[in-house]
Structures are given as structure tokens and as C-alpha cells.
Structure 1
Amino acid sequence: MSISRIPFFAGLLSLVLAGCSSGPKPPDWQLEAKGSMERSVAAYLQGNSRVEGVEFARARTEISSTGRIDLMARAELLHCASHVASLVFEPCTGFEKLRQDAAPAERAYADYLAARLQLQDVALLPEQQRGAAAAGMGSSDAAVKGMTDPLSQLVAAGVALQAGRASPALVQLAVDTASAQGWRRPLLAWLGVQASLAEKGGDSEQAARLRRRIELTQGDAKAAP
């Protein structure tokens, strides 16, 4: 998974990508920040919190050397987006410290992650998220399914669940997406949602099957959901 494919965060990497294609070598901080952010998000989705923390701290250090609030805000939002994709709903404290100096698009994305986006701000979101948000804070199964980026899909599904608008079909889509990418942490979280739905629906056989799948997914890693 490469965060350079996530439209909203392209600004964080644009100079790096341009430098890699032609022209002079980009500054070291750009290369280090890009690599550390990618490794941080990948580690979190795979269930490795230790590596995630180390790499994210390194990315913060590199970005802070530029004094660029916009880049730091987007790095914090990407960090929080990976948590929402894994159904960890908590304040995006790193971004909130920067909110007063952040751009409207960054503030809108933070509100989207917290499932409190205002309708008039939908147009400020990345293109992939607009359809799902306009349909009701990520409640449109078709809009989420139409996204081409798997992390964006999981974020939209997470927003929908947080807002209480996630259908069983959307939960299944999130399970399938996380499974296809081999992202252990969000897969465990979404399987847990499925198992709870089965139990509430009185389908003990399905719930037991899902619990066995959860046990298999945990494996030796025992990653936290």
C-alpha cells in the first residue's frame, strides 16, 4: 500500500515524487518523511504498533524541520485515517493542535474522520470521499464500493460505522477489502463487528464461524483490533 496513491495526501509527497522522476535529487527530509509515513501506516494496518510509533515519530521529526504546518497536518490526518479504518475512534489530537492554522480542506477531512462533517464542506474532501460523504457520512454502499483505493474504502466504512449508518453489506465489503490487502488490524476489527451482528441476530453458527476466523487471523501476532 502506497500513500502516494491516496489523493488527499499527494501534497505531502508531491515534491518527492517529482524529484524521483526527473530533475535534481530531492532533499533528504522529503525522502525520509515519505518512507517513514508509508512504513508507519503499513505497520499499523499490519498490527505492529511498535514499528508504527517509531516510524511516525521519525516522519514528524523530518517534517517539523521544514516548519510546514500544512505537511504536518496532513501527516497527522493520515495517521488518524489509518486508525478510523481500523475502527479506533479517538480524537485526532496531533491534528487538533494544528487546526487553527490548517487549511479548510484539512479541517474538513478531520471532521469527516470524526463523523461530524457538515454538508457544505463535502466539496472540500478528496474526490474519492465526496460521494460517500454526500450520501450520508459514508453510508452509501455503492459509493464506498466504487472507490479504487482500499484505505479510502476502509476509512469511509469506518466513518459510516462511527455514524451508525453501516449496513451489513458495507461491513462485509470492509472485511473483504482488509482481507485482500492482508491488513490484519482492520480485518480483526471488522470481523469483530460481523461476529457481534451475527450474535445479536441470533445466528450462533455464523458467529462461531467468525470467531474461528478471528482466531486464525490473530495467529501468533495477536494484534490488537
Structure 2
Amino acid sequence: MVAVVLLTACSSKPPVPDWQMNAHASAQKAVDAYLGGNTRVERLEWDRARAEVARTGRPDLLARLELMRCAALVASLVPGPCDRFEALRADAAEAEIAYADYLAGRLEPSRVPLLPEPQRKVAVTGDAAALAAVQDPLSRLVAAGVLFQTGRANPAVMAAATDTASAQGWRRPLMAWLVLQQQRAESAGDAEAAAALRRRIAIVAQGAPLR
């Protein structure tokens, strides 16, 4: 959602300004690099995207960009505040503020209608069926990450998130969700499930180290 809004912000039918195309391309590369486990490329592309958006002098657009990064972190079970967005909160639009609060697991129910459509039902019901109905893989992972932060990630949610990351070949969130499942299996005393998850983790780890 944020990527689409960023690409279309301030646009009037062609031509699309260069900064929009450049920012969108770099932001997408940054997200892909992060999910794939390549932090070096991720940082370079975020810097490029920020530089392009900064050309507009608009903090609201920069806030949207920062939410893309924070959403990828939530999808990968990385805790912590969205500091770069918070620095821009005063100039952010209401929809972006609601989305940031959603990512942080503190969205008030009355503000759910401000969320991107794919996230709304998951935010209300918190069940695996609503999660499975989210068509976009990254949006599904983000929703699963929010459910985890709010203590609603049951085994079906964790399995759906793991399957989504696996199908996309997104090593960073896949490793995070597998480790979470392994810990839950060990806590439950399910040695067989824990061993199977360790084998999957070992396969993911055979690739280039997450960096």
C-alpha cells in the first residue's frame, strides 16, 4: 500500500516525475534486499530512496517511505519502535499515523477503517482465516507480525507466515518465523516438531549468512 501511494503521490497523468519513479524503484529494491537478507544493499537503496523523496521537501512523503521499512521489520519479527517515522509523525497524514500505530500493535479499534483494506479484517478478527485471505504475500506477513506483537499469533498464524516466507524465498522472515515455531515446540515439549524445524532452519542457514 505504502509503495503504491508513494508512486502515485502528487502525480497527475503523465509524465510521472523522475523522483517518484526513482524513489519507488529504490524502495522496492531495499525491501527485497532486506527480506532476502542483504543488509548492505538494503541500506544503500534506502539512502537512495530517501534522497529522492527529500527532493520534494515533503515530510509526509518521507514518513510514508519510512513506513515501508518498518513494515518489513514487523514482517520479520524485528521488535522496536519505528524511530524514523516517529520523527516525522507531526507531519504525517492520518492514514499513515494509523498504519504506524497498527505496526506497533497499539491501534485503537475505532481507527481500523484507516488501515489498508487487506489489513482491516485481520486487525479486527485476528484469525488465520482472515490472514490467509490477504492476497499480497508481504501484506500477509506484516499482518502476521502484528498478530505476534499483540499476542494473537496462534500456531495456524505462525504456520501461514512461515509458508508465505518460504514460498517467496524471503530468508530473513522465514528464519525468524521458523525459530519462533521451534521455540514454541520446545516449550510445549514437542521434540519431534522441534527437530523438524531445526532441520529447516539448517537448510535456510546454508545460504549466504544473513547480514
Distance 2:207 2:154 in 1: 31
1:86-112 deviation digits (Å, cap 9, x = unpaired): 000111011000101111111100000
* Contact 1:86-1:186 at 8 Å conserved across structures: yes
Map 1:1-225 → 2, pairs under 5 A: 7-14=1-8, 23-24=14-15, 26-135=16-125, 139-223=126-210
Report if the CA contact (8 A) 1:16-1:34 is conserved: no
Q: Name the CA distance, whole Å, in 2 between partners of 1:149 and 1:41.
A: 14
Report the AA paired with residue 198 of structure 1. A
CA distance in 2, matches of 1:120, 1:81: 21
Q: Distance in 2 between matches of 1:121 and 1:115?
A: 13
Give the C-alpha shift of residue 11 in structure 1: 1.5
User: Which residues of structure 1 form unaligned runs of 5+?
Assistant: 1-6
CA distance in 1, matches of 2:31, 2:17: 22
The residue identity in structure 1 corresponding to 2:81 is P
Whole-Å separation in 2 of the counterparts to 1:181 and 1:15: 28
> What SS does the corresponding residue of 1:63 show, helix, strand or coil?
helix
Q: Secondary structure at the match of 2:176?
A: helix
Distance 2:207 2:137 in 1: 25
AA at the equivalent of 2:157 = L
Q: 1:18: Cα distance to partner?
A: 7.4
Q: CA deviation at 1:197?
A: 1.1
Note if contact 1:16-1:31 (Cα within 8 Å) is conserved in structure 2: no
Distance 2:190 2:9 in 1: 52
Separation of aligned partners in 1, 2:175 and 2:186: 16
Q: Deviations over 1:36-76 (max 9, x none)?
A: 00100000000011110110011001101101222111110
TM-score between the two structures when normalised by the length of structure 2: 0.95
**Gap change, CA 1:206 and 1:18, over 3 Å in 2:** farther
Q: How many residue pairs are counted as aligned between the two chains?
A: 211
**Structure 1 length-normalised TM:** 0.89
Secondary structure of 1:174 counterpart: helix
Partners in 1 of 2:24 and 2:187 — Cα distance?
43
Runs of 4 or more off by more than 3 Å in structure 1? 15-19
**CA–CA distance in structure 1, aligned partners of residues 143 and 11 of structure 2:** 26
Question: For each residue in 1:171-223, what CA deviation from the matched residue of structure 2 results, as whole angstroms up to 9, or x when unmatched?
Answer: 00000000000000000000011111110111112111111110110113121
2:2 touches 2:67 (CA, 8 Å); kept in 1? no
